[in-house]
Amino acid sequence: MSFLDHIVACNRHDLSGFLPFAAAGQHVGWIRHGLAARLAASHPVLRLTGAALVLDAALPDHAARSAAMDAVVRAMERDGLVSGRRDEFYAVATHVGAAELMRVERAAVSAFGIAACGVHMTGFVRRSDGIHVWVPRRSRDKSTYPGMLDNTVAGGQPAGLDIVENLVKECAEEASIPAELARRALPAGAISYCMEAPDGLKPDIQFCFDLELPADFVPRPADGEMESFELWPVARVMETVRDTDAFKFNCNLVLIDFFLRHGLITPDDPDHPALCAGLRRTMPRPPVASSPRAS
């Protein structure tokens, strides 16, 4: 394996298996052909055209679109097409920072190929022998990626909460990091990838933060998401990322970005340019000729 293998894996997808999904006349996601046909046959608010699955353009506003989609998602849950409801909603827009068109239950975001955002923080300590990173292990009874290694703190970005406030919340919930300390985390850019998964498409963006922690601070699990934390020399973290699949898939990319920014992967590495370019992928868009339009 190599660092680059993780980036390739997180960007493996075939858009020929998907149709664009549109709301308010705008492209907002991707949905598999078979699922699109099934939903259009069952839900009058969804119309299947030759180019896209389109949410009824007559829905007048954000609230109406959100309610219509929630009814669809609840029916999908009853039919076994979506599982793992969290009653946590994600913003749906044409791109990050654009006006929010509606909100969708987190569990259904991949089914509709909607861009999901999250926050990932690398907590580290500087010692005389170099950087050490706090590495948590996910709880064995988690519904997703149980028992895998993770970033020090990570979580999805719910609608209606700003990014830094979400990070502060996740720091408290996952690692018992107090707000005053969490607010010292430094924003370090973002990574993006587009990955095909069993439940759909993941065109995701993860906002990255670094937090240098006091030498005597020990993160502790608080909400049951993580089972333990260990402080690893960064060389061990690098070897584990490079040589194994022990970390949750997107955590590898966040850590590779950390290694690059801290000069731990140097420009002399033959994969250095590909790693830098591969961490920030442009989100897929439908061809102009087939862009969905409201009707």
Quick: pLDDT tens for 106-120. 999 999 999 999 999
Provide the strand spans (E) within the chain: 18-23, 26-32, 46-48, 53-55, 89-92, 102-105, 117-127, 130-138, 153-156, 186-197, 200-212, 226-233
Same domain, 192 and 68: no
Whichever domain contains 253, its CATH number is: 3.90.79.10
Task: Print the domain residue range for 213.
Answer: 3-9+116-278
Whether residue 176 is predicted with pLDDT greater than 70 in this model: the reply is yes
pLDDT, one tens digit per residue, over 197-243 is 999 999 999 999 999 999 999 999 998 889 999 999 999 999 999 99
Whether 29 has a pLDDT exceeding 80, the answer reads: yes
Looking at every residue in the chain, the average pLDDT score rounds to 94
- Do 70 and 188 have their domain in common? no
- Residue 150 pLDDT > 90, yes or no? yes
Q: Are residues 110 and 225 in the same domain?
A: no
How many Cα atoms sit within 13 Å of 125 on the Cβ side?
17
Asked if residue 294 is part of any domain, the answer here is no
* pLDDT for position 293: 52
Q: Are residues 256 and 122 in the same domain?
A: yes
